[in-house]
Structure 1
Amino acid sequence: MLGGPVAYRGRAAVHAGERGARAPHPARLRLYAVAAPTGAAMTLNRQGRAMTEAAAEPGDAHPVRHRDRVQRTETRLQRTRTAVRLTRYADLASMRAVRLVRAARRWGLRLPPMVWDSVLPVLLLLNIVTTRAPQELPVAVVLTAALALPLVWRRRAPLAVFGAVAAAAFVQWLMDVQLPADVALLVALYTAAANSGRRGTLVAGAVVEGGALLACLRWTTEGAFLTPFVAMTAMVVAAAVLGVNVRTTRAYLAAVEERAARLEQQQDQQARLAVAEERTRIAREMHDIVTHNLSVMVALTDAAVYAQHRSPDRATTAMLQISETGRQALTDMRRSLGILRTDEPDAERHPLPGIAQLEALAGQMCAAGLPTRIEVQGGHTHIPATAQLTVYRLVQEALTNTLKHTPAGTRAKVRIRCSTETVTVDVTDSGPCPPLAGVAPSGHGIAGMRERSAAYGGRLRAGPLPGGGWGVHTRLFLGSSGTASA
């Protein structure tokens, strides 16, 4: 049925009986047998998969080349697995190294600076102990200690440490002893440049440069003076420049931190001032609203009580005025306090009372028993809403004071003169002057009016009039650029 003999070879098939390996499935073998071409031999690889080889004569080399190709493929696969495994190990090792470095850095930051400053002296002493001959060891150890040990205190007293190291180096030069601890001079120069001014840096650099010149004159061979001197000069300049750079960077960072702290303090002060101003504004608004409306309500209540038996209609009208005044007071309070609440709708906060509402205010005062006449000269549509609110509160407070402190029969007159740059407010009444007119008032009404007027560059005058009565006068500057001269 097949085109040729089919042979089943491979480790899995040959040793199936010996090792108990599972033989290939019969259906898979039939599929392989059908797919195999005529005259081909089918072989099982190590994974139990079938592969065919062309049938050849005894001298043909095709099966051998196929086996070599399979072996090369397996070798490449094995090398790829090994490379992947090594890469994985390298990644793990690098992650562990990074963790160790971070842990060492955190641990090192906890150590005091003197511990790190002690590392170089210890290394220099160990180098001398392990490299010097026994007969040279005492002198070398003493000079190395004199050069290196002062570096432990270099952060506390940089100039003193530099002087001690320079003196030890000069003694070393006099004794004609060469030591690797001379690097302590560069470290001391760097510390002095990083912690002192320009003059100290120049003096320290000149001292080290002089020591380099003396060292080159004594310890260099003939004809080789220039090269070591230039190299030592370069190291001296590098140490000084590095120290100056560190000092400059430190000063810049300190200036930036100071500026940030100053700005933060200014912002806090501005925030506190803004809060204080807002608190004062709310206190003024509440004082004007509560004082005016309560005064009107008290006056209307007295009138209703007086007229309830003689004229019930007038008592009913007064009670209705009391109700309307109370509702108006609640509305004004919602307008003033609504700005503090983010969920308050704009319809309850606006519009603010202004010059156009003075007629309604005069009607309230007339109903409370104070006949009031309003006179507005000039157009007021160009005046800002905040300035109109100030005018309204000034007139309201002045009329409230007249209502509280004058007897029945007193009349009040309000005159507003508007121009492009100023608004003049005059409130007068015909009542008698208070007995203590010259004494400063104990309440907050006139003080609040002065504050409102001062916000627009105005100066408020409140006092008795020459012909009798009481008057309040101020002038508001809409540009807030001038000083009142009212």
Structure 2
Amino acid sequence: MTDTASEETGPRPTDLPAPAPLTRNIQDRIQRFRALDRRRPLLWDLVVTGLWITFAVLDYSTGGWRTVARDTEAPEPLVLLMSLCFSAPLLWRRRRPMTVLLLMAPVSVVNIWTGAVVQAALLQLIPAYTIALRLPLKYLAWSGLLMSLPAAVGALVLPGNTDRQLVSYLWGFAFVALLGIAVRTRREYTEALVERAQRLEHERDQQARLAAAAERTRIAREMHDIIGHNLSVITGLADGGAYAAARNPERAAQALEAIGTTSRQALGELRRVLGVLRETATNADLAPQPSLADLDTLVTGVREAGLPVRLTTHRTPAAPSLSPGLQLAVYRVVQESLTNTLKHAGPGASAQVTLTCTRDCLEVLAADSGGTPPGGPSGVRRTGSDGRGLSGMRERTSLYNGTLEAGPLPTGGWQTRLRLPLEDTPP
């Protein structure tokens, strides 16, 4: 029982963490080394240079240089000095790689001339790799000349196997040069990809901000048109109902019924707009936006609010069909014009809306006979306190490259003229 329980409660093989891949461990260690190099570059250079000096001194102390030397009787102090001269300048290999090669060049001449051929001479490949990795290619050619020239002179002047040393120098230089160029190309390509990703991310964020600002503007415009117009109609109906309550109760009841109808209509439109904005509303009401066919309903509601309105439509046979967006823009301009007339025209005013559609353009003329509101200039009553009325109409007009003119009439009242081109209007 005990063994069975322990087996059941013990960790299962599927619950154990999977071992990390070998490549991930290698990448983590490389990133740690790079982070240390960025934080402490001098410390890293000292450690690397110290290791190469140690190897050079060990090659001298153990006599390993004699296995490849042409003259095994070369002075040992000179061999030690050359080993240090090849390894110690590596401390500046990243900051001054060309200077390091220039310092090693005369040592390389002495190394070949004496026949010692210390193996530390191969450390010249390290600054050559740094030059291929960081400096322009013209410096790479000079570094190859500095490395191969002493060996070439030795092969021409001195007898023996100096030509083999020249070949080994050339092959070694070609290898580190190609390696440095490959690493440099990959690094530049990676940096270009990172820069491009950052730029695309910045552009994406900027486009998102612009889209959010445009959407806020559109929502504010729709809310203003919906709420402003319906509240103006409700206000007119309420004033008319209060006036008729004492003399004609039947008309007051009709006004109250119209107020209820207009309120429900406004509430329904408001719910549609807010339903689209809710993130959890997956089944938002997607009823069509108002079009030119709804102008009669709009005019009827304004008439019930107490403003006489006459709607006239002229359409030529060659007139094209209008897109839903353009029809919505015309509807909202007429709605805003009549709303402003209800708010500011004064008692006894009347309105005239004329819609003319030809093959080339669509013109809307909305005018009223009302005068200036008491105590205010004529230019105030159409902009409102915040100017959203005219600005909203101009924004809708600019979407279709149209023109909008609004201003007081010489005989009193106010006129709004909208003109929209139809050449590029999609069917």
Q: 1:417 to 1:154 in 2, by over 3 A?
A: farther
Kindly tell me: are residues 173 and 340 of structure 1, through their superposed partners in 2, closer, same or farther at Cα, counting changes over 3 Å? same
Alpha-carbon distance between aligned partners in 2 of 1:326 and 1:286, rounded to the nearest angstrom:
14
**Structure-2 residue corresponding to 1:250:** 187
Shift of 1:368: 1.1
Residues 323-358 of structure 1, C-alpha deviation per residue, up to 9 Å, x if partnerless? 011111011112323322466576832121111111
Instruction: Answer whether contact 1:169 1:182 (CA < 8 A) is retained.
Output: no
> Aligned letter for 1:127?
D
Q: 1:453 is matched with which residue?
A: 397
Q: For the residues of structure 2 that align with 1:171 and 1:459, how far apart are their CA atoms?
A: 84
In the other structure, the counterpart of 2:354 is 415
What's the CA shift string for 1:251-279, capped at 9, x where partnerless? Answer: 11111111111111111111111111111
Deviates further, 262-271 or 373-382: 373-382
Helix, strand or coil at the partner of 1:460: strand
Choose from 116, 120, 143 the match for 1:181: 120
Letter in 2 for 1:449: M
User: Residue 110 of structure 1 aligns to which amino acid in structure 2?
Assistant: R
Larger radius of gyration: 1
What is the correspondence of 1:387-466 to structure 2 with a 5 Å cutoff? 387-419=326-358, 422-433=361-372, 435-438=376-379, 442-443=385-386, 444-466=388-410
Distance 1:418 1:284 in 2: 25
CA positional deviation for 1:163:
1.5
Pairwise CA distance, 1:226? 5.2
CA distance, structure 2, for counterparts of residue 418 and residue 121 of structure 1: 92
Q: Does the aligned pair in 2 maintain the 1:428–1:469 contact within 8 Å?
A: yes
1-side partners of 2:128 and 2:362: how far apart? 73
- Pick from 216, 219, 236: which aligns with 1:299? 236
Aligned to 2:103: 167
Q: Percent identity?
A: 37
d(CA) in 1 for partners of 2:164, 2:287: 86
Of the three residues 47, 54, 62, the one matched with 1:122 is 54
Q: Which moved more, 1:392-401 or 1:415-424?
A: 415-424
1:45-444 aligned within 5 A: 106-107=28-29, 109-111=31-33, 112-113=36-37, 114=44, 117-118=48-49, 119-131=51-63, 136-155=75-94, 157=95, 160-174=96-110, 176=114, 177-217=116-156, 221=160, 228-341=165-278, 344=281, 348-378=285-315, 382-419=321-358, 422-433=361-372, 435-438=376-379, 442-443=385-386, 444=388
Gap change, CA 1:342 and 1:104, over 3 Å in 2: closer
Q: State the 1:417 CA deviation.
A: 2.4
How many angstroms does 1:129 deviate by? 2.8
Count of residue correspondences: 380
Give the whole-Å Cα distance in 2 for the aligned partners of 1:203 and 1:165. Answer: 10
Gaps of 5+ in 2: 1-18, 38-43, 67-72
Any gaps of 5 or more consecutive residues in structure 1? 1-96, 482-486
Higher RCO (Cα < 8 Å, 6 or more apart): 2
TM-score (norm 2): 0.79
Alignment-derived partner of residue 7 in structure 1: none
